[in-house]
Chains A and B, each alone.
Chain A
Amino acid sequence: MTDVLDAPADPILERRQAVQAAAASSLRRRKLGSRLALGVCWACLLIAVIPLVAVVVYVVAKGLPAWNVDFFTQPTKPEGIAGGGVSNAIVGTVVITVIAVVVAVPFGLLCGLFLAESDGRFATTLRFTADVMTGIPSITVGIFGYIAIVRNFNAYSGFAGAFAIGFIMLPVIIRAGETAFRGVPRSLNEAAMALGARRATVARRVVVPTALPGVITGVLLAVARGLGETAPLLLTIFGNQYLQWNPSKTMEALPILIYNYSSQPYADLVQVAWGAALLLMVVVLVLSIGSRLLANHLGKVRR
């Protein structure tokens, strides 16, 4: 040890040497433990990632051959007839999702804003309800949509499907919105209030714009979630092999198509199901990655 450093009293010097000796002699063991722990982390990561990668690779390999121009432009054709596509399902999914978003997003975000701004008993109950809603099995939401809309109007319809999907998205939007609005620093709130702004003005001019990147991310993730839901649609839109833009009629949707066609004994229909699965996966992936990039971009522009 460098004698330069060891001017102080003896007990301290002794302890310093004891500690440094212990540290040096245990270094090998500690390094080994550290490597072992890192190895276990990597192993767990790999095990977790393998099925994910396997699913993606398998769906791409099986689904890509089904993709051609007809696949995107033609409605489904019966078994044995060439040139069938999934345009009816694409249109159905787009229409249903757009309606669900238009309804659920304003509701969800306003609920989220309320939850972020108040902490009363009502807010606590609402928050708890939203959490419970997240956990409701999607088939239950399907039955709810069936009873509330299909039975009352005596018709399966795209609207009923949008209602059910919106119901699935709502809690996701509420909690994502709350988190985003809560992330706005209290000091910005106070700065606006100190300028004489009313609470609604503060929310509209300061809180909402500041939280926008988080809000957009949350909404896009909710959309991604809603796109893949099958059970709520199963009991509400019935399915339709023709191209249908009118949401008051029965509609086809990608998850329904995958569900129906994948269990068919005909190879060409199974092939269409794989193609639709790939399409759904790609859209969800693009939405997830896109929402992240957009949030990053918006966050950067602000700074």
Chain B
Amino acid sequence: MTDAGFIPNVEESLTVHAEKAMIDPPTGQVVMTLRDVAVAFAGRTAVRDVTFDVCAGEVTALIGPSGSGKTTLLRALNRMHDAERSAVVTGTIRLGDLDVYGPDTDATLLRSRVGMVFQRPNPFPTMSIYDNAVAGLRFNGVRKKALLDDAAESALIAAALWDSVKDRLKANGGTLSGGEQQRLCIARALAVEPEVLLMDEPTSALDPIATKRIEELVGELKDRVTIVIVTHNMQQAMRVSDRCAFLLMGEDKAGGLIEFGPTSRLFSEPSDPRTLDYVNGRFG
């Protein structure tokens, strides 16, 4: 149900959806808008009724127990479900003025604007650290050496990796530790200078110290890129995010948005009793 004439009128549509889920209106500038988003695989709905806005320069966390559709929703934001034939995304997702699932929208161009970091570090095994860092630029047709070098340095600095790898940029990415590999993957995503960075439980395969580094990084990157992060760890959501979307699996086994709002409010005085139970660790 792509609605061609749909103009994202935030106030109005949020009021409409406020009945379905508790939603606070956004305060900053909106980068991405989600309206009635649902994802189904082979006819079975995995997540539905998701409506909220992603604000510029903020970290938005998707939280909820397993099966609530966090990752599925995240992957819908940069059309990673395109490769799965049985997947159908309905509702409206916009990046600025661009209809993400519009008929004229090119998925590859979209993904150069909405990057992604995955659960497990996945540097390309046949590429050096430098080649990994600039891989996205090369994929997008950037050839200028100066631009590649600048982007690599800037991204590696931003990912807090530059000092430890600047003397061995030609080394293989696999020689790095797990945490460093994940930061290389973050640098790789940053080098393309996306407007939004999606992170799918980026610390789930890392030890506590490496996790701490990544969390600090997320806070530092806010000025550079808007972040949407999936986490199953409520403490992590509390530490890194400005806003939270709480998802929960309904009785029909499909995940849905329960509540969306500033992290501080969601964790202190949520509107929905289910949110309260979850953030207090009574289930999930």
Question: Which of B109, B137, B150, B193 is in CB contact (< 8 Å) with A24?
Answer: B109
Are A15 and B147 in contact, CB atoms less than 8 angstroms apart?
yes
Q: Does A47 reach chain B (CB closer than 8 Å)?
A: no
Q: Does A22 reach chain B (CB closer than 8 Å)?
A: yes
Are A8 and B97 in contact, CB atoms less than 8 angstroms apart?
no
Q: Does B177 reach chain A (CB closer than 8 Å)?
A: no
Question: Which of B29, B96, B113, B154 is in CB contact (< 8 Å) with A12?
Answer: B154
Q: Does A82 reach chain B (CB closer than 8 Å)?
A: no
A 273-292 contacts with B by CB, 8 A: none
Closest to B31 in A: A5
Closest CB in chain A relative to B225 CB, distance in Å: 8
State A2–B141 Cα separation when bound (angstroms): 22
Closest to B223 in A: A8
Question: Which of B30, B140, B192 is in CB contact (< 8 Å) with A26?
Answer: B140
B143: chain A residues within 8 A (beta carbon) = 22
Q: Does A125 reach chain B (CB closer than 8 Å)?
A: no
A26: chain B residues within 8 A (beta carbon) = 140-141
Are A4 and B223 in contact, CB atoms less than 8 angstroms apart?
no
Are A23 and B147 in contact, CB atoms less than 8 angstroms apart?
no
Are B192 and A19 in contact, CB atoms less than 8 angstroms apart?
yes
State A15–B29 Cα separation when bound (angstroms): 21
How many chain B residues have a CB neighbour from A under 8 Å? 29
Q: Does A98 reach chain B (CB closer than 8 Å)?
A: no
Are B29 and A23 in contact, CB atoms less than 8 angstroms apart?
no
Question: Known contacts A16-B193, A26-B140, A26-B141: does B96 contact A5 (CB below 8 Å)?
Answer: yes
Closest to B113 in A: A20
B 82-133 contacts with A by CB, 8 A: 96-97, 106, 108-109, 112-113
Q: Does B74 reach chain A (CB closer than 8 Å)?
A: no
B237: chain A residues within 8 A (beta carbon) = none
B192: chain A residues within 8 A (beta carbon) = 19
Question: Known contacts A26-B140, A27-B106: does B96 contact A8 (CB below 8 Å)?
Answer: no
Are B113 and A15 in contact, CB atoms less than 8 angstroms apart?
no
Interface residue SS majority, chain A? helix
B154: chain A residues within 8 A (beta carbon) = 11-12, 15
State A25–B224 Cα separation when bound (angstroms): 24
Question: Known contacts A8-B223, A20-B112, A27-B108: does B193 contact A15 (CB below 8 Å)?
Answer: yes
Are B109 and A23 in contact, CB atoms less than 8 angstroms apart?
yes
Question: Known contacts A15-B147, A19-B112, A20-B113: does B57 contact A7 (CB below 8 Å)?
Answer: yes
Question: Which of A2, A11, A12, A19 is in CB contact (< 8 Å) with B140?
Answer: A19
Question: Which of B56, B140, B147, B194 is in CB contact (< 8 Å) with A7?
Answer: B56
State A7–B112 Cα separation when bound (angstroms): 18
Closest CB in chain B relative to A294 CB, distance in Å: 23
Q: Does B76 reach chain A (CB closer than 8 Å)?
A: no
Are B57 and A2 in contact, CB atoms less than 8 angstroms apart?
no
The 0/1 profile, CB within 8 Å of A marked 1, for residues 6-40 of chain B is 00000000000000000000000111000000000
Are A30 and B31 in contact, CB atoms less than 8 angstroms apart?
no
A7: chain B residues within 8 A (beta carbon) = 29, 56-57, 223
Closest to B143 in A: A22
Closest to A1 in B: B96
Are A23 and B56 in contact, CB atoms less than 8 angstroms apart?
no
State A27–B96 Cα separation when bound (angstroms): 21
Closest to A30 in B: B141
B225: chain A residues within 8 A (beta carbon) = 8
A11: chain B residues within 8 A (beta carbon) = 150, 154
Are B193 and A12 in contact, CB atoms less than 8 angstroms apart?
yes
Question: Known contacts A12-B193, A19-B142, A27-B108: does B56 contact A5 (CB below 8 Å)?
Answer: yes
Residue of B31, B96, B193 with most chain A CB atoms under a 10 A cut-off: B193
State A32–B30 Cα separation when bound (angstroms): 35
Are B96 and A4 in contact, CB atoms less than 8 angstroms apart?
yes
Are A19 and B193 in contact, CB atoms less than 8 angstroms apart?
yes
Are A8 and B31 in contact, CB atoms less than 8 angstroms apart?
no
Excluding A7-B29, A8-B223, A9-B224, 15 further A-B contacts by CB distance (< 8 Å) are A2-B96, A2-B97, A4-B31, A5-B29, A5-B31, A7-B57, A7-B223, A8-B225, A16-B193, A20-B109, A22-B140, A23-B112, A24-B109, A27-B108, A27-B141
Closest 3 CB pairs of A and B: A26-B141, A2-B96, A16-B193
